[in-house]
Protein backbone atom coordinates (compact mmCIF):
# COMPACT_ATOMS: atom_id res chain seq x y z
CA UNK A 1 0.00 0.00 0.00
CA UNK A 2 1.25 3.48 -0.87
CA UNK A 3 0.41 6.55 1.17
CA UNK A 4 1.96 9.28 3.30
CA UNK A 5 3.40 6.64 5.67
CA UNK A 6 4.66 4.27 2.97
CA UNK A 7 7.12 1.77 4.54
CA UNK A 8 7.27 3.63 7.85
CA UNK A 9 7.23 1.40 10.93
CA UNK A 10 4.62 2.56 13.40
CA UNK A 11 3.95 1.33 16.93
CA UNK A 12 0.49 1.94 18.39
CA UNK A 13 -0.20 1.09 22.03
CA UNK A 14 -3.66 0.10 23.21
CA UNK A 15 -4.46 -0.67 19.58
CA UNK A 16 -6.85 -3.56 20.07
CA UNK A 17 -9.97 -1.44 20.31
CA UNK A 18 -11.37 2.07 20.00
CA UNK A 19 -9.01 4.87 19.05
CA UNK A 20 -5.91 2.67 18.97
CA UNK A 21 -7.51 0.21 16.57
CA UNK A 22 -8.66 3.08 14.34
CA UNK A 23 -5.14 4.53 14.34
CA UNK A 24 -3.54 1.18 13.49
CA UNK A 25 -5.92 0.60 10.57
CA UNK A 26 -5.46 4.17 9.30
CA UNK A 27 -1.66 3.93 9.40
CA UNK A 28 -1.77 0.61 7.56
CA UNK A 29 -4.07 2.12 4.93
CA UNK A 30 -1.41 4.82 4.37
CA UNK A 31 1.29 2.21 3.79
CA UNK A 32 2.78 1.82 7.26
CA UNK A 33 3.95 -1.41 8.80
CA UNK A 34 2.26 -1.52 12.18
CA UNK A 35 3.14 -3.03 15.55
CA UNK A 36 -0.24 -3.47 17.24
CA UNK A 37 0.16 -3.42 21.01
CA UNK A 38 -2.66 -4.38 23.36
CA UNK A 39 -2.36 -6.02 26.76
CA UNK A 40 -5.89 -7.40 26.44
CA UNK A 41 -7.30 -5.98 29.67
CA UNK A 42 -10.75 -4.75 30.57
CA UNK A 43 -11.92 -1.16 30.93
CA UNK A 44 -10.62 -1.07 34.53
CA UNK A 45 -7.26 -2.62 33.67
CA UNK A 46 -7.99 -6.17 34.81
CA UNK A 47 -7.04 -9.09 32.53
CA UNK A 48 -9.49 -9.89 29.74
CA UNK A 49 -10.24 -13.18 27.98
CA UNK A 50 -9.52 -12.18 24.39
CA UNK A 51 -6.56 -11.05 22.30
CA UNK A 52 -7.73 -7.94 20.45
CA UNK A 53 -4.27 -7.12 19.10
CA UNK A 54 -4.27 -10.30 17.03
CA UNK A 55 -7.70 -9.46 15.61
CA UNK A 56 -6.49 -6.04 14.44
CA UNK A 57 -3.39 -7.60 12.87
CA UNK A 58 -5.64 -10.02 11.00
CA UNK A 59 -7.74 -7.09 9.73
CA UNK A 60 -4.67 -5.26 8.47
CA UNK A 61 -3.25 -8.33 6.77
CA UNK A 62 -6.60 -9.18 5.18
CA UNK A 63 -6.55 -5.71 3.60
CA UNK A 64 -3.08 -6.32 2.19
CA UNK A 65 -1.08 -4.53 4.87
CA UNK A 66 1.74 -5.56 7.18
CA UNK A 67 1.34 -5.84 10.95
CA UNK A 68 2.53 -7.78 13.97
CA UNK A 69 0.93 -8.15 17.40
CA UNK A 70 2.55 -7.30 20.73
CA UNK A 71 0.82 -8.24 23.98
CA UNK A 72 3.18 -7.10 26.77
CA UNK A 73 2.36 -4.53 29.44
CA UNK A 74 3.98 -1.29 28.27
CA UNK A 75 3.69 0.23 31.77
CA UNK A 76 6.68 -1.93 32.72
CA UNK A 77 10.19 -1.17 31.52
CA UNK A 78 10.55 -4.73 30.22
CA UNK A 79 7.28 -4.53 28.30
CA UNK A 80 8.11 -1.14 26.80
CA UNK A 81 11.57 -2.33 25.79
CA UNK A 82 10.12 -5.44 24.16
CA UNK A 83 7.72 -3.24 22.19
CA UNK A 84 10.62 -1.37 20.60
CA UNK A 85 12.51 -4.64 20.05
CA UNK A 86 9.49 -6.12 18.29
CA UNK A 87 9.52 -3.28 15.76
CA UNK A 88 13.26 -3.56 15.23
CA UNK A 89 13.36 -7.37 15.09
CA UNK A 90 10.36 -7.59 12.73
CA UNK A 91 10.92 -4.63 10.42
CA UNK A 92 14.46 -3.43 11.15
CA UNK A 93 13.48 0.10 12.14
CA UNK A 94 11.12 2.29 14.15
CA UNK A 95 9.75 5.55 12.78
CA UNK A 96 6.65 6.48 14.76
CA UNK A 97 5.37 5.82 18.27
CA UNK A 98 1.70 6.44 19.07
CA UNK A 99 1.01 6.27 22.81
CA UNK A 100 -2.67 5.51 23.28
CA UNK A 101 -3.08 2.78 25.94
CA UNK A 102 -5.19 3.55 29.00
CA UNK A 103 -8.11 2.65 31.22
CA UNK A 104 -10.37 4.27 33.81
CA UNK A 105 -11.09 3.88 37.50
CA UNK A 106 -13.35 6.84 38.12
CA UNK A 107 -14.08 8.01 41.65
CA UNK A 108 -14.81 11.31 43.36
CA UNK A 109 -11.70 12.45 45.23
CA UNK A 110 -13.04 11.56 48.68
CA UNK A 111 -13.66 7.99 47.44
CA UNK A 112 -10.52 7.62 45.32
CA UNK A 113 -8.15 5.19 46.99
CA UNK A 114 -4.42 5.00 46.45
CA UNK A 115 -4.57 1.82 44.36
CA UNK A 116 -6.95 3.39 41.85
CA UNK A 117 -4.81 6.53 41.74
CA UNK A 118 -1.62 4.56 41.15
CA UNK A 119 -3.15 2.19 38.58
CA UNK A 120 -4.42 4.96 36.31
CA UNK A 121 -1.23 7.05 36.50
CA UNK A 122 0.78 3.89 35.90
CA UNK A 123 -0.82 2.91 32.60
CA UNK A 124 -1.40 6.41 31.21
CA UNK A 125 1.56 8.47 32.38
CA UNK A 126 4.17 5.83 33.18
CA UNK A 127 3.16 3.89 30.07
CA UNK A 128 3.77 6.97 27.93
CA UNK A 129 7.10 7.66 29.62
CA UNK A 130 8.52 4.14 29.34
CA UNK A 131 7.71 3.60 25.67
CA UNK A 132 8.98 7.09 24.87
CA UNK A 133 12.19 6.52 26.81
CA UNK A 134 13.01 3.24 25.04
CA UNK A 135 12.11 4.60 21.60
CA UNK A 136 14.15 7.75 22.24
CA UNK A 137 17.17 5.70 23.29
CA UNK A 138 17.03 3.90 19.95
CA UNK A 139 16.70 7.14 17.98
CA UNK A 140 19.56 8.73 19.90
CA UNK A 141 21.76 5.73 19.09
CA UNK A 142 20.79 6.02 15.42
CA UNK A 143 21.74 9.71 15.41
CA UNK A 144 25.08 9.02 17.05
CA UNK A 145 25.73 6.40 14.37
CA UNK A 146 25.16 9.02 11.68
CA UNK A 147 21.63 7.91 10.79
CA UNK A 148 19.45 10.73 12.11
CA UNK A 149 15.85 9.48 11.85
CA UNK A 150 12.68 11.22 10.76
CA UNK A 151 10.96 10.11 13.94
CA UNK A 152 7.56 11.01 15.29
CA UNK A 153 5.76 10.55 18.62
CA UNK A 154 2.05 11.18 19.11
CA UNK A 155 0.91 11.13 22.74
CA UNK A 156 -2.70 10.94 23.89
CA UNK A 157 -3.91 13.48 26.42
CA UNK A 158 -7.54 14.48 26.96
CA UNK A 159 -9.78 17.44 27.56
CA UNK A 160 -9.79 16.16 31.13
CA UNK A 161 -6.07 16.80 31.27
CA UNK A 162 -6.50 20.33 29.91
CA UNK A 163 -9.57 21.40 31.89
CA UNK A 164 -10.09 18.79 34.60
CA UNK A 165 -13.03 16.40 34.91
CA UNK A 166 -15.25 15.80 37.93
CA UNK A 167 -14.90 12.23 39.19
CA UNK A 168 -11.66 11.71 37.28
CA UNK A 169 -8.95 13.20 39.44
CA UNK A 170 -6.55 10.35 38.68
CA UNK A 171 -7.23 10.36 34.93
CA UNK A 172 -7.10 14.17 34.69
CA UNK A 173 -3.78 14.31 36.54
CA UNK A 174 -2.30 11.62 34.30
CA UNK A 175 -3.47 13.32 31.12
CA UNK A 176 -2.17 16.70 32.29
CA UNK A 177 1.17 15.03 33.01
CA UNK A 178 1.22 13.68 29.45
CA UNK A 179 0.98 17.23 28.09
CA UNK A 180 3.96 18.32 30.19
CA UNK A 181 5.89 15.20 29.18
CA UNK A 182 5.15 16.00 25.53
CA UNK A 183 6.56 19.51 25.85
CA UNK A 184 9.73 18.31 27.56
CA UNK A 185 10.26 15.47 25.08
CA UNK A 186 9.79 17.80 22.11
CA UNK A 187 12.50 20.09 23.47
CA UNK A 188 14.94 17.34 24.46
CA UNK A 189 14.61 15.03 21.47
CA UNK A 190 14.65 17.52 18.59
CA UNK A 191 18.43 17.05 18.26
CA UNK A 192 17.81 13.38 17.44
CA UNK A 193 15.33 14.04 14.63
CA UNK A 194 12.29 13.36 16.84
CA UNK A 195 9.09 15.42 16.81
CA UNK A 196 6.68 14.96 19.72
CA UNK A 197 3.07 16.14 19.76
CA UNK A 198 -0.11 15.28 21.66
CA UNK A 199 -3.78 14.99 20.86
CA UNK A 200 -6.80 15.50 23.10
CA UNK A 201 -9.42 13.42 21.28
CA UNK A 202 -13.15 13.04 21.78
CA UNK A 203 -14.65 9.87 20.33
CA UNK A 204 -16.83 6.89 21.14
CA UNK A 205 -14.78 4.22 22.93
CA UNK A 206 -15.24 1.89 25.89
CA UNK A 207 -13.87 4.68 28.09
CA UNK A 208 -16.31 7.35 26.87
CA UNK A 209 -19.55 5.52 26.14
CA UNK A 210 -21.24 7.04 29.21
CA UNK A 211 -19.68 10.50 28.83
CA UNK A 212 -20.90 10.90 25.25
CA UNK A 213 -24.17 9.01 25.61
CA UNK A 214 -26.24 11.96 24.37
CA UNK A 215 -23.96 12.41 21.36
CA UNK A 216 -24.31 8.81 20.22
CA UNK A 217 -27.64 9.02 18.51
CA UNK A 218 -27.91 7.97 14.88
CA UNK A 219 -25.50 10.08 12.79
CA UNK A 220 -26.92 12.86 10.68
CA UNK A 221 -26.16 13.08 6.97
CA UNK A 222 -24.15 9.86 7.23
CA UNK A 223 -21.47 11.45 9.43
CA UNK A 224 -20.89 9.84 12.81
CA UNK A 225 -19.15 12.64 14.73
CA UNK A 226 -18.14 10.29 17.56
CA UNK A 227 -16.49 7.62 15.39
CA UNK A 228 -12.90 6.93 16.53
CA UNK A 229 -11.79 6.93 12.89
CA UNK A 230 -12.40 10.69 12.74
CA UNK A 231 -9.40 11.26 15.02
CA UNK A 232 -6.97 9.04 13.14
CA UNK A 233 -6.20 11.18 10.04
CA UNK A 234 -4.56 13.85 12.19
CA UNK A 235 -2.62 11.19 14.11
CA UNK A 236 -1.42 9.64 10.84
CA UNK A 237 -0.29 13.02 9.53
CA UNK A 238 1.53 13.83 12.78
CA UNK A 239 3.17 10.42 12.55
CA UNK A 240 4.37 10.97 8.99
CA UNK A 241 7.32 12.80 7.47
CA UNK A 242 4.81 15.31 6.08
CA UNK A 243 4.48 16.93 9.52
CA UNK A 244 8.03 18.29 9.37
CA UNK A 245 8.46 21.28 11.69
CA UNK A 246 5.44 20.57 13.91
CA UNK A 247 6.48 19.64 17.44
CA UNK A 248 5.56 20.44 21.03
CA UNK A 249 1.92 21.03 20.08
CA UNK A 250 -1.39 19.80 21.49
CA UNK A 251 -4.36 19.33 19.16
CA UNK A 252 -7.94 18.81 20.26
CA UNK A 253 -9.86 16.76 17.72
CA UNK A 254 -13.49 15.68 17.59
CA UNK A 255 -15.62 14.75 14.60
CA UNK A 256 -14.60 17.07 11.79
CA UNK A 257 -13.05 19.69 14.09
CA UNK A 258 -9.32 20.20 14.80
CA UNK A 259 -8.18 22.83 17.30
CA UNK A 260 -4.66 23.88 18.26
CA UNK A 261 -4.74 24.17 22.03
CA UNK A 262 -2.97 27.12 23.63
CA UNK A 263 -1.43 26.26 26.98
CA UNK A 264 -0.27 28.22 29.99
CA UNK A 265 1.40 31.50 29.12
CA UNK A 266 1.89 34.76 31.05
CA UNK A 267 -1.19 36.95 31.31
CA UNK A 268 -1.70 40.29 33.07
CA UNK A 269 1.08 41.15 35.53
CA UNK A 270 1.66 43.65 38.34
CA UNK A 271 5.16 44.18 39.74
CA UNK A 272 5.63 46.20 42.93
CA UNK A 273 9.41 45.76 42.76
CA UNK A 274 9.24 44.98 46.47
CA UNK A 275 7.57 42.44 48.74
CA UNK A 276 3.78 42.61 48.95
CA UNK A 277 1.97 42.26 52.25
CA UNK A 278 -0.94 39.80 52.29
CA UNK A 279 -3.66 42.43 51.83
CA UNK A 280 -1.78 44.08 48.98
CA UNK A 281 -1.14 40.71 47.29
CA UNK A 282 -4.85 39.92 47.49
CA UNK A 283 -5.79 43.29 46.02
CA UNK A 284 -3.25 42.79 43.21
CA UNK A 285 -4.59 39.30 42.50
CA UNK A 286 -8.16 40.59 42.23
CA UNK A 287 -7.05 43.41 39.94
CA UNK A 288 -5.28 40.92 37.66
CA UNK A 289 -8.22 38.50 37.67
CA UNK A 290 -10.54 41.33 36.59
CA UNK A 291 -8.35 41.71 33.48
CA UNK A 292 -8.33 38.00 32.69
CA UNK A 293 -10.97 35.86 30.94
CA UNK A 294 -12.68 33.33 33.19
CA UNK A 295 -11.28 29.80 32.83
CA UNK A 296 -13.22 27.21 30.85
CA UNK A 297 -15.42 25.10 33.11
CA UNK A 298 -14.21 21.76 34.42
CA UNK A 299 -15.91 18.84 32.66
CA UNK A 300 -18.95 17.71 34.64
CA UNK A 301 -19.67 21.02 36.36
261 within 8 A of 251, measured Cβ to Cβ? yes
Residues found in the chain: 301
195 within 8 A of 181, measured Cβ to Cβ? no
Residue (of 116, 110, 153) closest to 131 by Cα position: 153
CA distance 83 to 184: 22
Q: Which of the residues 157, 165, 172, 175 is marked catalytic? A: 175
9-12 and 96-98: which strand pairing? parallel
20 within 8 A of 157, measured Cβ to Cβ? no
The question of whether 171 is a catalytic residue gets the answer: yes
Q: Which of the residues 82, 91, 157, 158 is marked catalytic? A: 158
Q: Which of the residues 91, 165, 171, 243 is marked catalytic? A: 171
Instruction: Please give the helix or strand (H or E) that residue 253 lies within, else none.
Output: strand 250-254
The question of whether 272 is a catalytic residue gets the answer: no
Q: What are phi and psi of 278, to 5 degrees?
A: -60, -45
Q: With helix as H, strand as E and coil as C, how does 71-129 read?
A: CCCCCCHHHHHHHHHHHHHHHCCCCEEECCCCCCCCECHHHCCHHHHHHHHHHHHHHHH
CA distance 14 to 108: 26
Other Cβ atoms less than 10 A from the Cβ of 129: the count is 19
The question of whether 299 is a catalytic residue gets the answer: no
Residue (of 65, 174, 31) closest to 112 by Cα position: 174
Give catalytic residues, as residue numbers.
Answer: 158, 171, 175
Amino acid sequence: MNGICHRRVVVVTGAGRGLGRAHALAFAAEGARVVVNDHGVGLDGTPGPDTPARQVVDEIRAAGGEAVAHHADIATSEGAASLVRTALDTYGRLDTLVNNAGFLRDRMLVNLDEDDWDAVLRVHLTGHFLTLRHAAAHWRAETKAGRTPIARVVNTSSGAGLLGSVGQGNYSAAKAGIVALTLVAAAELARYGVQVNAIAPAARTRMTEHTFATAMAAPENGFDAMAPANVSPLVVWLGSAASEGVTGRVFETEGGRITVMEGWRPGPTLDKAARWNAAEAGEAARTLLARTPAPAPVYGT
